[in-house]
Amino acid sequence: MIRTQISLTEQEYKAAKGEARRLGISLAELLRRSLRGMLPVSDEPPWMRYAGMVESGDPQSSQRIDDLVYGQKD
């Protein structure tokens, strides 16, 4: 691990310490987890994290993606 130093306001510090205590983890672990949640998982564009999250229930939806995304044309 690489050690680093950050500056927090007193309010941020107290809130973070309280949340760490509530979760039963150290302040350092709380900050690591928070940072991991903000960083991209890979080099893919951030929007790729959401690929495959929506299910239409239609097994043919990939063939009619425009209809699925934009709605059917009248």
Whether the per-residue pLDDT at 60 is higher than 80: the answer is: no
For residue 1, the model assigns a pLDDT of 87
For residues 12 and 30, give the distance between their C-alpha atoms in angstroms, rounded to a whole number. Answer: 13
pLDDT (tens digit, 9 = 90+) per residue, 21-54? Answer: 999 999 999 999 999 888 877 676 666 666 666 6
**Mean pLDDT of all residues belonging to the chain:** 82
Cα separation values, 20 from 6, 26, 30, 31, 69, Å: 17, 6, 6, 9, 41
Residues 7-29: what's their mean pLDDT?
96
DSSP class of residue 24?
Answer: T
For residue 56, the model assigns a pLDDT of 66
* pTM of the entire predicted model: 0.54
Cα separation values, 37 from 30, 46, 47, 54, 71, Å: 11, 12, 14, 21, 33
Q: Which residues contact 17 (CB under 8 A, 6 or more apart)?
A: 27
